[in-house]
Amino acid sequence: MSSLVTPSATQSAASRPLRRLALASGLLLALAATGCSGLNETEQRTLTGGAIGAGVGTVGTVITGGCVACGAAVGGAVGAGVGYLSDKLDNDN
């Protein structure tokens, strides 16, 4: 007898990455909102770059089907680096 997949099982499996994305985005926004109050400009740009990078990494891995936590970590690290370098380049000019 063939095995049929019910629509509810398919929807549940498909919505897991979206739930992870929503949770990661919510945590990222909460961190970004509470973490910027007493920071200098370099620290703000580094944090903002990290938050944006983590968000982009998360979305990218959800779309491609990769490791969501890995994508968020790599994206956050790259974004933080870009934010830091961006501030340093602006200060040098």
Residue 1 maps to a domain:
no
Residue 36 maps to a domain:
yes
Mean pLDDT of the region 9-20: 64
Residue 86, φ and ψ in degrees, nearest 5:
-60, -45
Neighbours of 67 (CB within 10 A): 11
**Residues 53, 35: Cα–Cα separation, whole Å:** 16
Q: What domain range includes position 84?
A: 7-92
- pTM (2 d.p.): 0.62
**Residues 86, 93: Cα–Cα separation, whole Å:** 11
Residue 38 DSSP class: T
What is the pLDDT, as a whole number, of residue 86? Answer: 92
Domain count for the chain: 1
The tens digit of pLDDT for each residue in 31-47 reads 766 666 778 888 888 98
Q: Give the contacts of 52 (CB within 8 A, at least 6 positions apart).
A: 79, 83
